[in-house]
Amino acid sequence: MKTDDLIYMLASGPDVAVSAPSARSALSPLLWGLLASFLMMLVLLGVRRELMAELMLPAFWSKLGFSVALMAAGLIAVRRLSVPGARTRTLPALIAAPLLLAWTASAALLTNAAPEARVDLFWGSTWHYCTMLIALISLPMFVAILRVMRERTPTRLRLAGAAAGFAAGATAAVLYCLHCPELSIVFVGFWYLLGMLVPAAVGALIGPRVLAW
């Protein structure tokens, strides 16, 4: 829906139907963005050699489930914030639920761990580059989501930009699971989240300019 369509809808009353871009029109850019992010991960990092063995570990699925849940929440936020008047009250809960679950599990794990093991559970061995790698891998998906949102009519541009960045960062975190050696939910619940928040912050900054229509 473009500016002329929105003006016509507002002038004609709530019963006038204005055609909106179909979900199918958004699918192609998003798939290309996902593919580009995946290829970037493969070229720059590669898939972890021990991945097949780690697939047998519950800790790997906790890491992946955390990332997938936030990716789904981010994409739902993107969809709703792309059009005016969509319901957004449940969006904070969708994002908070996996965070609270991960942080509760982290607290339990830290409480039961030996004092000397707690440092490794939080810092791991890759904290100094994990966040920035997730943010880097998110770039193609970030661009794709912004492109899709520009074809719609977001009104809360800063929030919409933040949602685009967060969804892209969470998608990158899902892909990064294929490379990352860390399995501690304590590590994932902080450093992965930080990697998602970096593009979200960038999106909040550029949203008013990039998504203006």
pLDDT tens digits, 158-177: 999 999 999 999 999 999 99
Span of 6-10, 35-39, 61-65, 76-80 with lowest mean pLDDT:
6-10
CA separation for the pair 37, 54 (Å, rounded)? 22
pLDDT at 17 over 50: no
Mean pLDDT of 86-98: 92
Q: Do residues 29 and 154 touch, judged by C-beta distance below 8 A?
A: no
For 173-208, the pLDDT digits (tens) are 999 999 999 999 999 999 999 999 999 999 999 999
Mean pLDDT of 8-28: 57
Mean pLDDT of 9-31: 62
Confidence of residue 18 (pLDDT cuts 50, 70, 90): very low
Say what the pLDDT of residue 51 is. 95
Quick check: pTM over 0.75?
A: yes
pLDDT at 13 over 70: no
Judge residue 101's burial from the number of C-beta atoms within 10 Å of its C-beta, 0-12 exposed, 13-18 middle, 19 or more buried: middle
- At residue 207, what is the residue type? G
More confident residue, 148 or 22: 148
pLDDT at 7 over 60: no
pLDDT at 16 over 80: no
Mean pLDDT of 95-123: 96
**Of the candidates 132, 130, 115, 146, the residue with the CA atom closest to the CA atom of residue 181:** 130
- Helical residues (DSSP H) of the chain, grouped into ranges: 3-12, 23-44, 51-54, 58-81, 91-112, 115-123, 127-137, 139-150, 157-176, 185-187, 193-210
Mean pLDDT of 58-86: 95
Confidence of residue 113 (pLDDT cuts 50, 70, 90): very high
